[in-house]
Structures are given as C-alpha cells and as structure tokens.
Amino acid sequence: MPNRVAAMQIINYPSAAEWPALQQRPAQAEAAQVAERVRQIFDDVRQRGDEALRHYAAELDGATLTQLRVTPEEFAAAAAQVPENLQAAIRQARANIERFHAAQREGELRLETMPGVECWRRAVPVQRVGLYIPGGTAPLFSTLLMLGVPARLAGCPDIVLCTPPARDGSVNPVILFTAELLGITTIIKAGGAQAVAALTGGTESVPPVDKIFGPGNRYVTAAKQLAAQRGVAIDMPAGPSEVLVIADDSATPAFVAADLLSQAEHGPDSQVVLLSTSTQLLANVVREVERQVAELPRREVAALALRESRAVLLRTQEEMLLFSNQYAPEHLILAVDNAEELAEGVTSAGSVFLGHLTPEAAGDYASGTNHTLPTNGYARSYSGVSLDSFVKKITFQRISAEGLRQLGPVVETLAEAEGLRAHARAVTVRLESIDK
C-alpha cells in the first residue's frame, strides 16, 4: 500500500499490471456526469442564446452582464492597468512564439507524378476560429499568445475570443492588452462549456466558428469533444494540466519539486507524476514539495491536486520511459544527465523539456513552443497546437491531354476492378474526345 507524505502518494516498484491504475487521471472518474451536464448546457445555449450566456455568467461567475462583447472603451482602459515591465515581457514572449511558429510555414508543394499529371498542395487558413482563454482564479493571457500568434501568422480572417468575466463584469486587463497587441477585437465575456457551446452553434452576439482552440477544465474539454461531434473542429482535448518528471540521482530536488508544483497549482484536477530509480531522490523531492507548497499563494489548490498525484519508484530508466510513453503526459521533463539520449525514446508526449535547467514554465510562457497540448493520454494520438493547426491543406491537380492518355487507362482498369463503371466512364469519354 502507498504511503502518503505531503499528500503525494509514493509507490515502490509497482508491477506492470499495476501501472494502468497509476496512470489513471483524476478527472476520468466523473466523465459521464460531466458529459451529461455539458449536453444540457449546449441545449440551453442553442435554445436561449445570449440569455443563456448571461444566466451562466451570473450563476457560475457571479457577474451581471448587460452586454457580452467587450467594448472599445474597455479596450482603451486596459493598457493603462498593465505595468510596463509586464507589457515588455509579453512583447518578448510574443516575439519568441512568433519566431518559432513562423518557421513552421511550408511552401506550396508542386510536382508532376507522371508526364502531364501535375499535383500540388496549398495551405489555406481556417476562416473563422474561436479561441477559448481560461479565466477565473488564473487568467491565462499566455494562452492567448499561444493561440493568437499562430492564428495571425496563418492568416485566419476572423478570430473570436471567449473568456470568463470577473464578478464586476470586466475582463482581465492583461488579456485585453494582449488581444489588442494581436489585433483581436471580438471578445466575448463567456467561460466554461457555455462559451464552447456558443462558439459551436452561435448566438445573437457570438458568431459560430469553424474550429475551436484552447485548454480548460474537464467541462471545457468535454464541451470541445461535443462540439466536434456536432461538426465543429477542435484543436485537441486539452485540460486539465499535467506533468510527468523522470529524474535520476543527478536531479536537484528543489528544481523537481518546483516543476511538480508549477502544474499542481493550475487546478485541483491537475495531476503530477514523478518517476525515479532513486529512493533517496523521491524522499527528498517529496520533502521539498511539502516545504514549497506551504509558500505558494495557491497552496490550497496545489494541495488538492497533489492528492491525486504520484511518486513512483521504478528499477530502470527503460521502465521509466515505458511508463511515461504509456501515460502520454502533456508535459514531460527529463531531469537526467543523459536527457538527449533518453529523449530519443519518447513516443508519446505533448512537449518535452530536457535537462536540469529547462523548467516546464519556460514552455508555458516564452521559450517559443506552444503550451496548448494534449492531456488525458491524448498525446498518444494528438499533437500540440502549431501553425498547421490553423490551416487546411488543400490538394489540387491538373491533367493535360498527354497526361490523360498515360493515366487514363490506369484509372479505367482500377475503376472497372471495383465495379464503379461511372468512374471509368468519366475517363473514357475524355479519351474518346481528345483522340478524335
């Protein structure tokens, strides 16, 4: 049985058969109830539109709203409330994120697959995107940078931003400053599943979008999955936050503890996992977690998250990597001396942080990579947000007379073999025409 120290479970040498239980996320236990509640909210927003959004703002955010859209006057007042040093930091983060994402642009791929048969592929921006920016106790203006920068680089013509209002009906001034910096002017005061519902079907104030981006709690994640079922694309299931740290004897316990707590403080349903082959390191890290959590302003939130978190002692580095790939963490920190070598074996993770001087927080804010990443094991099949997330890749082709003479008989043969005579005929009538 696990011991509990500093509200973090310590598990010594679990068998492989025990791993799936240790890899279970806390949010999954109530998935059915959450999904049902989200369906109810979607139906309500579809039926009542803006009225439903105002109702949820009052019920869930404690805000009485006369209108849902941020006004020009609110934008104008925001910059004066943001300290100069924070403005400078946001601009630097934007520059780094922009530099990394701009490098992801691909030129148009154009080639002849055979003489006279030309094919090409072009990236076209998603026309209207919805960005969900969490608010509440920790307004994530950094997420706005992570989504707004690539959306702008991709050339998306319409960007709609939803974020929860404060109790006084305002939007965090740093979010407004960041939005203005990115040229985003359509901001809706709506949070949670109701915001995703509005972006999915539209309301009087909220235009429906083609694709929804952004992390959130279990309700937002469930809402995005329901949106996908109703025909609106999503970036990925994202949220609640999680980190897995692989650490060896070379790791600094204070660094590892700080990394664990940087995710635990996101919310009570966040999860942190520590893997090590060192009994001493595990003990030292757990002690550091206990010491550091007491100093945090959000210590109560972090402490709740730690109750569903684990420190696992395994026998080898290979076992730790296998456990991690099965868990598929949103964030993976390799706090080991041979981080580059170990990273070669990573097959499932949202974003990877190598070595002792690479905190996950750097990726959260300003190194340049994107922090909107798959959680809950979805890193096994999803990538994090990138420039590609905001474009569609459309293929084109053009065939000359000579090309059709060469390719046509191949298509006719294949179509006839599948019993699709009309497909074959679409080629045959053209060949007959050009050979007259």
The reply to whether CATH 3.40.50.1980 applies to domain 3-13+240-368 is yes
382 labelled ligand-binding: no
364 labelled ligand-binding: yes
266 labelled ligand-binding: yes
194 labelled ligand-binding: yes
User: How many residues does the structure list for the chain?
Assistant: 436
Whether the link from the prior residue into 240 is cis, omega within 30° of 0, is yes
Task: Return the structure tokens found at 40.
Answer: 């109810």
Which of 101, 265, 331, 360 is catalytic? The answer is 331
Task: Tell which CATH classification among 3.10.180.10, 3.30.413.10, 3.40.50.2300, 3.40.50.1980 matches the domain 31-238.
Answer: 3.40.50.1980
Residues in a beta bridge with 160: 130, 186
Q: What is the pLDDT of residue 136?
A: 65
241 labelled ligand-binding: yes
Instruction: Give me the chain's average pLDDT, please.
Output: 94
Interhelix angle 173-181/84-102, rounded to 10 degrees, is 40
DSSP letters along 311-369, please? EEE-S-HHHHHHHHHHH--SEEEEESTTHHHHHTT--S-SEEEESTT--HHHHHHTSSS
Query: Are residues 45 and 198 in contact, defined by beta-carbon separation less than 8 angstroms?
Result: yes
One digit per residue, the tens of pLDDT, for the chain of length 436 reads 344 444 688 999 999 999 999 999 875 657 889 999 999 999 999 999 999 999 999 999 999 999 999 999 999 999 899 999 999 999 999 999 999 999 999 999 999 999 999 999 999 999 999 999 988 666 789 999 999 999 999 999 999 999 999 999 999 999 999 999 999 999 999 999 999 999 999 999 999 999 999 988 889 989 999 999 999 999 998 778 899 999 999 999 999 999 999 999 988 889 999 999 999 999 999 999 999 999 999 999 999 999 989 999 999 999 999 999 999 999 999 999 999 999 999 999 999 999 999 999 999 999 999 999 999 899 999 999 999 999 999 999 999 999 999 999 999 999 999 999 999 999 999 999 998 7
348 labelled ligand-binding: no
What pLDDT, in 10s, does the model give residues 35-44?
A: 999 999 999 9
371 labelled ligand-binding: no
Phi and psi angles of residue 116, each rounded to the nearest 5 degrees, phi first: 85, 0
Burial of 16 (0-12, 13-18, 19+ CB in 10 A): exposed
Please count the other Cβ atoms lying within 10 Å of the Cβ belonging to residue 357.
10
Which of 242, 265, 288, 330 is catalytic? The answer is 330
Please count the other Cβ atoms lying within 10 Å of the Cβ belonging to residue 71.
10
Our answer to whether residue 371 is catalytic in this structure is no
User: Among 324, 238, 240, 267, which residue's Cα sits nearest to residue 27?
Assistant: 240
What pLDDT, in 10s, does the model give residues 33-78?
A: 999 999 999 999 999 999 999 999 999 999 999 999 999 999 999 9
**Do 3-13+240-368 and 31-238 share a fold?**
yes
Q: What is the pLDDT of residue 238?
A: 76
Which residues, 6 or more positions from 43, have their beta carbon under 8 angstroms from its beta carbon?
A: none
Domain-wise residue ranges, the chain: 3-13+240-368, 31-238, 400-434
263 labelled ligand-binding: yes
Query: Are residues 182 and 208 in contact, defined by beta-carbon separation less than 8 angstroms?
Result: no
Q: What is the pTM of this model?
A: 0.93
Residues in a beta bridge with 159: 129
